[in-house]
């Protein structure tokens, strides 16, 4: 049993540090390389498990990378009883990081694509969480299975629609909250970049979801739900690497909601934890 269940992806991140990202058709030299655990689901589960009991429902390969990610989840006190080992390569992500800590990411789902709806439903029944969190690095049918389980079992469904894709309206309608950054919010709304403020984006999306959190990095986060609307200011901290900061935010948010916090208070905790993470080298996290 767990308070939070994360239904999502696990990947091995191949991290390349560069002075600047290459332009189209250009080759640049990297300055450092590392391999670290990643995937939005794994990152969110690890962040949530720092605060409350958390299980991970996902799929990895039977390869060395799959064992590495399994060990990482275990070392982070994440429950892995519902983690599938499948006959596919474990997912990968190629992460390019600049000296300013900004990143660009290419995701290869691989084993994550084998997470099936029937497994999701069965796993959630075993775990019985009060909060279920999903992203879009797994098949949309599996996300829908998680949402359906939440409706039937009166659990809170959190959706982080990243990477942005065509999302059935029922998933947006059930999201409580819908958690996404400003760029993702613009893409989901089909809005031009910079046309709306973070507050306006949150208000527009609130017409489709039960509650909404739009994040803006150092600009903070905007919150809209049925009881309150607010802005949590960003924290001015030195940034080493923003990779995984959004996942840390979302995982922390889910954990505090599972423990009974109001949404705006959970966002305050999540904002502080994300600010802590960006100050650390990835290998030190």
Tell me how far apart the alpha carbons of residues 27 and 19 are, in angstroms, rounded to a whole number. Answer: 12
The residue written with tokens 């767990």 in the block is: 2
CB 81 within 8 Å of CB 126:
yes
Reduce the DSSP state of residue 7 to 3 states and report it.
strand
What's the full length of the chain, in residues? 285
HSE-CB for 53 with a 13 A CA cutoff: 8
The residue written with tokens 């905790």 in the block is: 269
What is the per-residue pLDDT for 132? 98
Distance of CA 68 to the CA centre of its chain: 20
Tell me how far apart the alpha carbons of residues 283 and 263 are, in angstroms, rounded to a whole number. Answer: 31
For 4-284, which CATH superfamily applies? Ribokinase (3.40.1190.20)
Whether the bond into 123 is cis, omega within 30 of 0 = no
Tell me how far apart the alpha carbons of residues 161 and 180 are, in angstroms, rounded to a whole number. Answer: 7
What is the per-residue pLDDT for 284? 65
What is the per-residue pLDDT for 285? 66
What is the per-residue pLDDT for 239? 86
DSSP secondary structure letters along 164-199: -----HHHHHH-SSEEEEHHHHHHHHTPPTTSS-HH
Q: Which residue from 1, 8, 4 is spatially nearest to 126, judged by alpha carbons? A: 1
Query: Tens of pLDDT along the chain (285 residues)?
Result: 899 999 999 999 999 999 998 888 999 999 999 999 999 999 999 999 999 999 999 999 999 999 999 999 999 999 999 999 999 999 999 989 898 878 888 889 999 999 999 999 999 999 999 999 999 999 999 999 999 999 999 999 999 999 999 999 999 999 999 999 999 999 999 998 889 999 999 999 999 999 999 999 889 999 999 888 999 998 889 888 777 899 999 999 999 999 999 999 999 999 999 999 888 876 666
Q: Rounded to whole angstroms, what are the CA distances from 216 to 79, 99, 158, 219, 234?
A: 31, 20, 18, 5, 8
Tell me how far apart the alpha carbons of residues 207 and 210 are, in angstroms, rounded to a whole number. Answer: 8
Looking at the DSSP assignment, which residues form a beta bridge with residue 12?
37, 92
Looking at the DSSP assignment, which residues form a beta bridge with residue 181?
215
Looking at the DSSP assignment, which residues form a beta bridge with residue 178?
159, 212
DSSP secondary structure letters along 64-118: HHHHHHHHHHHHTT-B-TT-EEESSPPEEEEEEE-TTS-EEEEEE-GGGGG--HH
């Amino acid at each position: 049993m767990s308070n939070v269940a994360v239904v999502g992806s696990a990947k091995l991140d191949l991290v390349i540090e560069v002075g600047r990202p290459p332009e189209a058709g250009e080759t640049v030299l990297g300055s450092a390389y590392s391999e670290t655990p990643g995937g939005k689901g794994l990152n969110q589960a690890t962040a949530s498990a720092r605060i409350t009991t958390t299980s991970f429902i996902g799929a990895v390969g039977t390869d060395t990378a799959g064992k590495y990610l399994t060990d990482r989840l275990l070392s982070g006190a994440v429950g892995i009883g519902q983690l599938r080992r499948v006959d596919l390569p474990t997912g990968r992500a190629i992460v390019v990081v600049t000296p300013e800590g900004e990143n660009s990411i290419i995701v290869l789902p691989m084993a994550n694509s084998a997470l099936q709806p029937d497994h999701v439903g069965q796993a959630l029944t075993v775990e019985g969480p009060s909060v279920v969190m999903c992203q879009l690095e797994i098949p949309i049918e599996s996300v829908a299975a998680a949402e359906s389980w939440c409706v039937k079992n009166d659990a809170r469904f959190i959706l982080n629609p990243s990477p942005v894709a065509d999302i059935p309206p029922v998933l947006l309608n059930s999201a409580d909250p819908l958690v996404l950054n400003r760029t993702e919010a613009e893409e989901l709304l089909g809005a031009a970049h910079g046309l709306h403020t973070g507050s306006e984006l949150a208000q527009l999306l609130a017409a489709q979801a039960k509650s909404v959190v739009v994040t803006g990095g150092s600009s903070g986060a905007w919150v809209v739900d049925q009881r309150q609307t607010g802005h949590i200011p960003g924290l001015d901290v030195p940034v080493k690497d923003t990779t995984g900061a959004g996942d840390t935010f979302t995982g922390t948010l889910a954990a505090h909601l599972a423990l009974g916090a109001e949404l705006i208070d959970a966002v305050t905790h999540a904002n502080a934890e994300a600010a802590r993470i960006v100050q650390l080298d990835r290998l030190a996290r």
